[in-house]
């Protein structure tokens, strides 16, 4: 069950205890069900909130129209298109030639104009920002939807935490020993830390990445901003070449643990989630969920002395590129790897 949030395209999501359905969990486990967002992932929280604020800004500036722009064929692009449709504003998405017909169709179904340009994301994004966005009229306000890097996006994501605490979704806040989320560019993590700060909570966050896209780990290891030269991960939504500088700052100021798993563990997380709960998500989400199945040691190592009535919250962040067929393909990949 979800309920609409006042004048936002994102919805309030449930927080559900799943402890009894797990084998030998170290403590009580709750799912924050962001996969239930209408665009399929938490991304709608941030992008929807940003668009709401930009529409208000356009009114103040006397602009005749707002136009949403995105170069993401993933969950951020879907969130941008969904949010634009919700507010009845135009949306243009530029995608590289490598994009699949499925993605293009999904975006078109949401009413977005889709332009195919460039051989890879970088070229599509350059064309969007340097050509398409430059060609708008002076009385129009462009809204560029970066997948993770914007204050308003983090603020939108932070409502996940407000909701858990202000809506009294938890039996006992004092028993919460940790929150687990996946990270690509770190936008979701930034939102969670902002939400915890707003609520004056210093609950530790465990951030999960894959060894094939260890952006956060490398940034921390080298103690500076880095760019990964090549990324080949099956958890493709986590494949950001760099980390939001704000995430690095948050890491230094908020109790944060980093967990690294293999791509195959992330796939297995998605498969286990489907087999035990019937929930279909991308490996980007399977990554954090794996900590309640095969990778439980990450909870035990990072949240010390867990007691039976302690609580861990897993952000079930969702992802639209998975379906039953892809999950079967992942099953085969895991089997073949043995
Ligand atoms: C389903 C899903 N989970 C997690 C992430 C990672 O989010 P972030 O880039 O904000 O760290 C993404 C990013 O696209 C995603 O689509």
Are 89 and 52 in contact by the 8 Å Cβ rule? The answer is no
Quote the pLDDT of residue 230: 82
Q: What is the pTM of this model?
A: 0.96
Q: Do 316 and 285 contact (CB within 8 A), yes or no?
A: yes
Could you report the per-residue pLDDT of 148-192, keeping only the tens digit for each? Answer: 999 999 999 999 999 999 999 999 999 999 999 999 999 999 999
- Cβ atoms of 265 and 238 closer than 8 Å: no
CATH number of 3-41+152-336: 3.40.50.1100
- Write out the E strands in the chain: 3-4, 11-12, 15-17, 28-32, 65-70, 90-95, 113-116, 140-144, 176-182, 205-210, 256-261, 311-315
How far, in Å, from the CA of 137 to the mean position of ligand 1? 32
Q: In 3-state terms, what secondary structure has residue 22?
A: coil
**Cα distance between residue 173 and residue 190, in whole Å:** 21
Nearest atom of ligand 1 to the alpha carbon of 186 = 11
Whole-number Å distance between alpha carbons of 145 and 312: 31
Long-range Cβ pairs for the range 96-101 (8 Å, 24+): 96/120, 96/121, 96/123, 96/124, 99/73, 100/73
Q: Say whether domain 44-144 belongs to CATH 3.40.50.1100.
A: yes
**Which residues have C-beta atoms less than 6 Å from ligand 1?**
41, 43, 74-76, 147-148, 182-189, 237-238, 240, 282, 284-285, 317-319
Per-residue pLDDT at 119 = 87
Q: Write out the residue limits of the CATH 3.40.50.1100 domain(s) in the chain.
A: 3-41+152-336, 44-144
Give dist(CA 316, CA 322) in Å, integer: 14
* CA distance linking residue 282 with residue 103, whole number of Å: 14
- Which of 36, 46, 75 most suits a substitution to test ligand 1, by most atoms within 8 Å of the C-beta? 75
Residue 62 Cα to ligand 1 midpoint, Å, equals 34
Q: Does residue 127 surpass a pLDDT of 70?
A: yes
* H or E segment and range at residue 277: helix 263-277
Dist. CA 197 → ligand 1 center (Å): 21
Site of tokens 């897993």: 314
Report the distance separating Cα 90 and Cα 52, nearest Å.
Answer: 14
Contact 10, 44 (CB under 8 A): yes
What is the spatial distance between Cα 67 and Cα 54, in angstroms, rounded to a whole number? 10
Q: Maximum Cα–Cα distance for the chain, whole Å?
A: 62
Confidence class for position 201, pLDDT limits 50, 70, 90: very high
The total number of residues written for the chain in this structure: 338
Look at ligand 1, atom 12, and give the residue with the nearest C-alpha.
237
Instruction: Supply the pLDDT for residue 5.
Output: 57
Cβ proximity of 269 and 220 under 8 Å? no
| Closest among 89, 98, 2 to 42, alpha carbons compared | 2
Binned at pLDDT 50, 70 and 90, residue 98 comes out as confident
């Amino acid at each position: 069950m979800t309920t609409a949030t006042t004048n936002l395209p994102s919805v309030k999501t449930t927080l559900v205890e799943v402890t009894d359905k797990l084998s030998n969990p170290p403590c009580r486990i709750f799912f924050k069900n962001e996969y239930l967002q209408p665009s399929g992932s938490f991304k709608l929280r941030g992008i929807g909130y940003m668009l709401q604020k930009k529409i208000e800004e356009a009114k103040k500036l006397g602009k005749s129209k707002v136009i949403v722009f995105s170069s993401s064929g993933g969950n951020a692009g879907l969130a941008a298109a969904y949010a634009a449709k919700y507010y009845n504003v135009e949306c243009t998405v530029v995608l590289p030639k490598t994009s699949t017909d499925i993605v293009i169709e999904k975006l078109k179904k949401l009413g977005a104009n889709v332009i195919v340009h460039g051989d890879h994301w970088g070229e599509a994004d350059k064309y969007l920002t340097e050509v398409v966005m430059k060609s708008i009229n002076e009385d129009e306000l462009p809204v560029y939807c970066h997948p993770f890097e914007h204050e308003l996006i983090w603020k939108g994501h932070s409502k996940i935490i407000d909701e858990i605490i202000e809506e009294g979704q938890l039996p006992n806040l004092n028993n919460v020993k940790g929150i687990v989320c996946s990270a690509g560019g770190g936008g979701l993590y930034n939102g969670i830390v902002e939400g915890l700060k707003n609520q004056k909570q210093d609950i530790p966050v465990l951030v999960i990445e894959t060894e094939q896209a260890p952006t956060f780990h490398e940034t921390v290891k080298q103690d500076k901003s880095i760019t990964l030269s090549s990324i080949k991960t099956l958890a493709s939504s986590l494949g950001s070449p760099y980390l939001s500088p704000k995430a690095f700052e948050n890491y230094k100021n908020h109790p944060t643990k980093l967990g690294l798993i293999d791509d195959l563990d992330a796939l297995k997380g998605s498969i286990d989630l489907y087999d035990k709960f019937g929930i279909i998500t991308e490996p980007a989400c399977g990554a954090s969920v794996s900590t309640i199945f095969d990778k439980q040691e990450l909870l035990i190592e990072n949240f010390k002395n867990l007691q039976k009535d302690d609580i861990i919250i897993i952000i079930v962040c969702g992802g639209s590129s998975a379906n039953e067929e892809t999950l079967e393909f992942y099953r085969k990949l895991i089997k073949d790897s043995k």
